[in-house]
Amino acid sequence: MSGDGGSPPQSASRLRHAVAALLVAIGVVLPAVSAVHAAPDETTTSLPAVPDTSTTEVAATTTTATTTTTSAVPETRAPAAPPVETPAPTPTVTPNAAPTQVLAAATCSISSVVRQGTRGADALCAEQTLAALGLRFIGPDDTFGVSTANALKQWQQANGLAADGVLGSVTGTVLGIWIPSSAPKPPPPTPPTTVPPPADALPANSGSGRRVVYSRAAQRVWAVEADGTVVKTHRVSGRLREPYAGTYQVYSRSMYTYSTENPNVKWRYMVRFAYGPGGGRIGFHEIPNRNGVPLQSVAQLGQPLSGGCVRQSTPDAQWMWDWAGLGTTVVVL
């Protein structure tokens, strides 16, 4: 034989590679072919790589005895969960603080104007309300006197109101005690041409400067500041003729004392300012007591029941003790 014996194996090998390349081109994958009949010096050619589609599709494989067919199936993905909305936090609202209450809750009310000289329940309510504010005046009682009117004027001026000393609808509303009457009231009587001064008005010609004025006829005292303001007035029990009318000064004071004629009769807050005809010392003090029993009642003040001195209720005596120091002028009318 000639040297043609090597040609058929080479032709067959080239034919198989051509068929394999064609099948790969149309998507058919053949199992690896072993070069059983290849010549020892024959070079094996690797098949082209099939593109990787794992990232975009999932391979569905059908297997037969001789071939494997692969077709692309679209990837199915789970639907994305809807976004969860977080509710906005509810703002915290701090309630406004209650307004500062300047006046205590009223315990009484008035329905008519209260002025100097007014008497009765409305006057008592007005004075109780002013006393609760810390104002100093005679009372509280059922008479709206000159000291109360003066104290009200000072309070009105300090609070931006008309300082007229009259407790009407404006001042009463501010104080929380004004409740106008629903029933119509008759007009007030026409005042006389000459209005007499109130019973507790400071007497005329009673001196000047800071002083205590004592009226024997009225059985009443007034405490007057240097500018003429009456800061307090109250009823007392003295004598009608002693001490003599004139101007005196406080010369001695004793917290506790007693009668030289009867040591069982005792009193406190003695403020001495005069001497009696027999040389006895005369002063302002509280109602004396004998063995603990008062010699008169507070209701009897305003009557000349004293043996020589000027008797006062215990609260009034304490007030006079604090106000009338040594050297204080005392005018006796």
Q: Walk me through the domains of the chain, giving residue ranges and CATH numbers.
A: 10-72 (no CATH), 121-175 (no CATH), 211-332 (2.40.440.10)
Q: Any bridge partners for residue 25, and if so which?
A: none
Residues 6+ apart with CB under 8 A from 84: none
Cis? peptide before 243, omega within 30° of 0: yes
What average pLDDT does the structure give for the chain? 77
For residue 114, pLDDT beyond 50: yes
CA 148 to CA 129: how far, in whole Å?
11
The pair of structure tokens assigned to 332 is 């006796």
First to last CA, the chain: 181
Q: Minimal CA–CA distance to 269: which of 309, 230, 296, 307?
A: 309
Q: Give the confidence band of 61 by pLDDT, cuts at 50, 70, 90.
A: very low
Q: Is the peptide bond before 187 cis (omega within 30 degrees of 0)?
A: no
Tell me which H or E stretch contains 311.
strand 310-312
Whether the pLDDT of residue 295 is over 50: the answer is yes
pLDDT-based confidence at residue 301 (cuts at 50, 70, 90): very high
Instruction: Return the pLDDT at 278.
Output: 85
Global pTM reads 0.43
pLDDT at 198: 76
| Tens digit of each residue's pLDDT (9 = 90 or more) over 230-287 | 999 999 999 999 999 999 999 999 999 998 888 999 999 999 999 988 888 999 999 9
Q: Which residues of 166-204 are buried (b: 16+ CB within 10 A; e: fewer)?
A: bbeeebbebbebbeeeeeeeeeeeeeeeeeeeeebbbee
Query: Does residue 39 carry a pLDDT above 60?
Result: no
The residue ranking higher by pLDDT, 6 or 274, is 274
Q: Give residue 16's pLDDT band: very low, low, confident or very high (50, 70, 90).
A: confident
Q: At 68, is the pLDDT very low, low, confident or very high (cuts 50, 70, 90)?
A: very low
DSSP 211-272: EEEEETTTTEEEEE-TTS-EEEEEE-B--SS-SPSEEEE--EEEEEEE-SS-TTEEEEEEEE
pLDDT for the residue 23: 66
Q: Over 80: is that where the pLDDT of 14 sits?
A: no
DSSP 3-38: GGGGHHHHHHHHHHHHHHHHHHHTT-BPPPPP-SS-
Compute the distance between CA of residue 55 and CA of residue 67 in angstroms, rounded to an integer: 24
